[in-house]
């Protein structure tokens, strides 16, 4: 009927886990994406090669127009690359599926469903008992601090609470990779810090592979084990840096000399590629 129905077919086969520990769980091989425009095409991404190991926390930073959101859309399977391949555990991604959870900047939480029923959404399509569904939803509500709000409607929630719902809803499907597209970009500074600590804790509790896109360099350094810097027009990988900080991080680490040094060098890189892009 539509192009979407063909995209929505079962996405990626995923077998085993432990044996594959050392293998890249998510792999982009020479991926390019062009959007058609009148009289030509706009190149959003060009020649992206990216390997993300199982359980890794990777942040992508770049100025606007560097194709960061397009990258997540390709991995989620909502759009198809013009060239190259997106592989999850070695199998090509052919469409969206619950093994790659996606959270937008403004979470697209369903306003007619309560918090609890939003989190349960993905489980409704699976052959599991009502009791198991309830137990799983309850666990993710507790993990994201939403237990008291489980009967609330989204219009009663703050921006930070809405993002928690979106994250819990994606996690409830047990994704291989959690894709976060500027998830805290619309939040105030204090809420943003709470959410950064929350996502770090979720990563440690669940071991989910996380790919987070942001334009906030301190956020990327604080959250990621690796920070990938994107250059603009067309979007491409400019640098891939390891964050040499302990896994147990708290907000005071943001003032550590090591942190600040890495933050400065990444900010310089982002600025260089942005200047190059705008021609200043």
Partner 1 sequence: MAAPWSTATGVTRARQTPRGWSALPRRRPPRARPPLFAIRAPISRRARWTLVAVSILGSFGAWWALSVSGLVDPAEYLPTPAATFAAGLEMARSGQLFTDAWATIGRVMVGFGAAIAASVPLGIVMGTFRAGQSLFEPVIGLVRYLPATAFIPLLIIWLGLGEPHKATLIFLGTFFFNTLMTADAVRGVPAAFVDVSFTLGARTGETVRKVIIPHSLPGMIDSVRVNSAAAWNMVVVAELIAAESGLGYRITRLQRFLQIDDIFAILMVIALFGLTMDVVLRLLRDRVGRWV
- Beta strands 57-61 and 177-181, pairing class: unpaired
Which residue, 5 or 280, has its beta carbon nearer to partner 1?
A: 5
**Residue number with CB closer to partner 1 (61 or 120):** 120
> Judged by CB under 8 A, how many residues of this single chain contact partner 1?
35
Contact string 4-23 vs partner 1 (x = CB under 8 A): xx-xx---------------
For Cα atoms 51, 254, 260, give the angle at the middle one, nearest 5 degrees. Answer: 80
Whole-angstrom Cα Rg for the chain: 19
User: Nearer to partner 1 by C-beta: 124 or 247?
Assistant: 124
Of 30, 42, 85, 111, the residue at the interface with partner 1 (CB under 8 A) is 111
What's 235's DSSP letter?
B
By the 10 Å C-beta count (0-12 exposed, 13-18 middle, 19+ buried), 60 is classed as buried
Give the footprint of partner 1 on residues 118-147 (CB under 8 A): 121-122, 124-126
Backbone angles phi, psi at 132, to 5 degrees: -65, -40
**Site pattern 144..183 for partner 1 (x: CB under 8 A):** ---------xxx----------x--xx--x----------
Q: How far is the CB of 13 from partner 1 (least distance, A)?
A: 15
Q: Round to whole Å and give the CA distance between 168 and 143.
A: 8
| 112 is a contact residue toward partner 1 (CB under 8 A) | yes
User: What is the CA angle 11-16-22, rounded to 5?
Assistant: 105
**Can you tell me which of 102, 137, 210, 221 binds partner 1, judged by CB under 8 A?**
102
User: Does 81 interact with partner 1 (rule: CB under 8 A)?
Assistant: no
- Contact assessment for residue 56 and residue 226, using Cβ atoms and an 8 Å cutoff: yes
Least distance (Å) between residue 105 CB and partner 1: 10
Query: CB of 148 within 8 A of CB of 71?
Result: no
Backbone angles phi and psi of 219, in degrees to 5: -60, -45
Q: Which is nearer to partner 1, 127 or 279 (CB)?
A: 127
Q: Answer for the pair 198, 240: CB distance below 8 angstroms, yes or no.
A: no
End-to-end Cα separation, the chain, in angstroms: 48
Peptide bond connecting 234 to the previous residue in cis, omega within 30 degrees of 0: yes
Give yes or no for residue 76 binding partner 1 (CB under 8 A): yes
Examine residue 1 and tell whether it contacts partner 1 (CB under 8 A). yes
Partnered with residue 242 across adjacent β-strands are: 226
Considering only 19-27, 59-67, 103-111, 261-269, which stretch makes contact with partner 1 by CB under 8 A? Answer: 103-111
Among 81, 101, 160, 234, binds partner 1 (CB under 8 A): 101
CA–CA separation, 266 and 271 (whole Å): 9
Fill in the per-residue mask, 190 to 229: x = in contact with partner 1 (CB under 8 A), - = not in contact.
----------------------------------------
Q: Which of 21, 41, 83, 108 binds partner 1 (CB under 8 A)?
A: 108
Residues that bind partner 1 (CB under 8 A): 1-2, 4-5, 7-8, 76-78, 95-98, 100-102, 104, 106, 108, 110-113, 121-122, 124-126, 153-155, 166, 169-170, 173
């Amino acid at each position: 009927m539509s192009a979407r129905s063909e995209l929505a077919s079962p996405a990626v086969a995923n077998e085993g886990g432990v044996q594959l520990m050392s293998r890249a769980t998510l792999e982009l091989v020479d991926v390019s994406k062009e959007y058609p425009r009148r009289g030509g095409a706009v190149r959003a991404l060009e020649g992206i090669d990216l390997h993300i190991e199982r359980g890794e926390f990777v942040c992508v930073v770049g100025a606007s127009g560097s194709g960061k959101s397009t990258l997540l859309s390709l991995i989620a399977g909502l759009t198809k690359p013009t060239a190259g391949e997106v592989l999850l555990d070695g199998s090509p991604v052919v469409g969206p599926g619950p093994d790659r959870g996606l959270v937008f900047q403004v979470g697209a939480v369903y306003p007619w469903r309560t918090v609890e029923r939003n989190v349960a959404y993905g489980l409704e399509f699976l052959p599991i008992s009502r009791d198991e569904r309830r137990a799983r939803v309850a666990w993710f509500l507790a993990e994201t601090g939403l237990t008291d709000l489980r009967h609330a409607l989204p219009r009663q929630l703050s921006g930070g609470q809405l993002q928690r719902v979106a994250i819990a809803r994606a996690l409830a499907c047990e994704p291989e990779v959690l894709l976060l597209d500027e998830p805290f970009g619309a939040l105030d500074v204090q809420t943003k810090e709470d959410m950064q600590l929350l996502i770090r804790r979720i990563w440690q509790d669940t071991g989910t592979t996380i790919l987070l896109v942001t334009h906030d360099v301190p956020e990327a350094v604080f959250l990621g084990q690796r920070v990938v810097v994107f250059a603009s027009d067309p979007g491409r990988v400019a640098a891939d840096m390891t964050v040499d900080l302990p896994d147990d991080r708290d907000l005071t680490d943001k003032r550590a000399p090591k942190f600040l040094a890495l933050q400065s060098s990444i900010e310089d890189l982002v600025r260089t590629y942005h200047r190059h892009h705008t021609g200043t």
